[in-house]
Amino acid sequence: MTRPFTFPGLTTRVVFGHGTLAQVPEEVARLGHTRALVLSTPHQQAEAQALADRLGDRAAGIFAGATMHTPVEVTEAAIAAYHAARADCVVSLGGGSTTGLGKAIAVRTGADQVVVPTTYAGSEMTDILGETAGGEKTTRRDPAIRPEVVVYDVDLTLTLPVALTVTSALNAIAHAMEGFYAPDRNPVTEALSREAMTAFRDALPVLIQDPKDPDARAKALYAAWGCSLTLGQVTMALHHKLAHVLGGSFGLPHAETHAVLLPHTTAYNEPAVGDLLNPISDTFGHGRAGKGLWHFARSVSAPMRLADLGLTDRDLDRATDIATKNPYANPRPVTRDGIRRLLQQAFDGDCPA
């Protein structure tokens, strides 16, 4: 029997293809705007300037100060620049950090957002914003955070370094993984997440050999869209909670942390979710989802050990305490012993049992 579901609808317009950056001016015009502030990290400032040049009269300037974890001081500086330039919308060109800044501006000013993602992190299709103030990261969901338009241009991902290609893809797969057992999953998230598994499985081995392969890049970006859409429609559980704890309280890098945790969080929940993770084991083999992901991650040279990301074994008890302090919904009960074991396994990089 078909499982009952609620489909929240699709509110973000998506343009996907090669060379679609050229369509950004027309997307800004379509929203009825005339002065876009282009956002980027300092690393992608030249690309932001080129996009502002392309926007011509529709550009209000650039703000190239986006940084990881969306610190509120940066948001305040960007909002000052937004008002000083008399901007009426933002165009966010970059990965999750730049998209985060655009969302932080939008939720405070009502600005419309056109997002041009250049990684696979998957913030662009979501109503989620994580921000840091006084060293603490908090996350909220609000319809005002969700971007109006996303322009996926495969060509912009050709420069994504191989290491970030791999970790960013595993970050995306983590959204799909938790989407398969989310209580509010729906047939659209399930179908797209299933397709995304296959696309990433086929694309990543090609990309680690040839990062500029246009077809593999297209497959990977398409997969990232599916995973982002899933993240934007369903509730996440243990995996995202642990990644948040390790990033927020121990300063571990975002995509790498997701990549290392993924096989272990998957294996932790696997006994509690029946056959819901079969799309993962069907795609990656080895009979079990967690095990299949571990072997896949190793085959594409992903980081495998929390120990290599700067965590020390003295941190493991404290991370366990923080991760188990407040109860949250998860398919398998979150116990202190269970999480401590999971973290030890991820720390050592062992294949999940």
Using CB under 6 A as the criterion, which residues of the chain lie in contact with ligand NAD when the complex forms? Answer: 41, 43-44, 68-69, 94-98, 100, 118-119, 121-123, 126, 128-130, 156-157, 159-160, 164, 168, 231, 254-255
Q: What is the dihedral of CA 218, 221, 225, 230, to 10 degrees?
A: 120
Q: Supply the minimum distance, in Å, between the C-beta of residue 98 and ligand NAD.
A: 6
> Which residue number, 238 or 255, has a Cβ lying nearer to ligand NAD?
255
Output 124 or 270, the one with its CB closest to ligand NAD.
124
Q: Is 106:90 a contact under the CB 8 Å cutoff? A: yes
Q: Whole-number minimum distance, CB 160 to ligand NAD, in Å?
A: 4
Give the nearer residue to ligand NAD in terms of CB position, either 88 or 111: 111
User: Shortest distance, CB of residue 278 to ligand NAD, whole angstroms?
Assistant: 25
| Nearest distance, CB of residue 129 and ligand NAD, angstroms | 6
Q: Which residues pair with 45 in a beta bridge?
A: none
Q: State the DSSP string of 274-299.
A: TTTTHHHHHHH-SSSHHHHHHHHHHH
| Smaller CB separation from ligand NAD, 86 or 140 | 140
| 126 vs 324, beta carbon nearer ligand NAD | 126
CA-wise closest residue to 125 among 37, 241, 11, 18: 11
Nearer residue to ligand NAD within complex by CB, 100 or 352: 100
> Is the CA virtual torsion 235, 238, 244, 247 positive or negative?
negative
Q: How far is the CB of 141 from ligand NAD (least distance, A)?
A: 9
State the minimum distance, in angstroms, from the CB of residue 70 to ligand NAD: 6
Of all residues in the shown chain, the one whose CB is closest to ligand NAD is 96
Backbone dihedral region of 61: left (phi > 0), alpha (psi from -120 to 50 degrees) or beta? left
| Cβ atoms of 122 and 231 closer than 8 Å | yes
For ligand NAD, the closer of residues 167 and 324 by Cβ is: 167
Nearest residue to 92 (alpha-carbon basis) of 141, 143, 47 = 47
Residue type, 2: T
CB of 97 to ligand NAD, least distance (A): 3
Using CA atoms, how far apart are residues 12 and 142, in angstroms rounded to an integer?
Answer: 14
Give phi and psi for 163, each to the nearest 5: -60, -45
Distances (CA, A) of 30 to 9, 34, 105: 21, 10, 20
Query: Which strand (E) or helix (H) includes residue 336?
Result: helix 336-348
Nearer to ligand NAD among residue 138 and residue 335 (C-beta) = 138
CA distance 177 to 320: 22
Q: Least distance (Å) from ligand NAD to the CB of residue 203?
A: 15
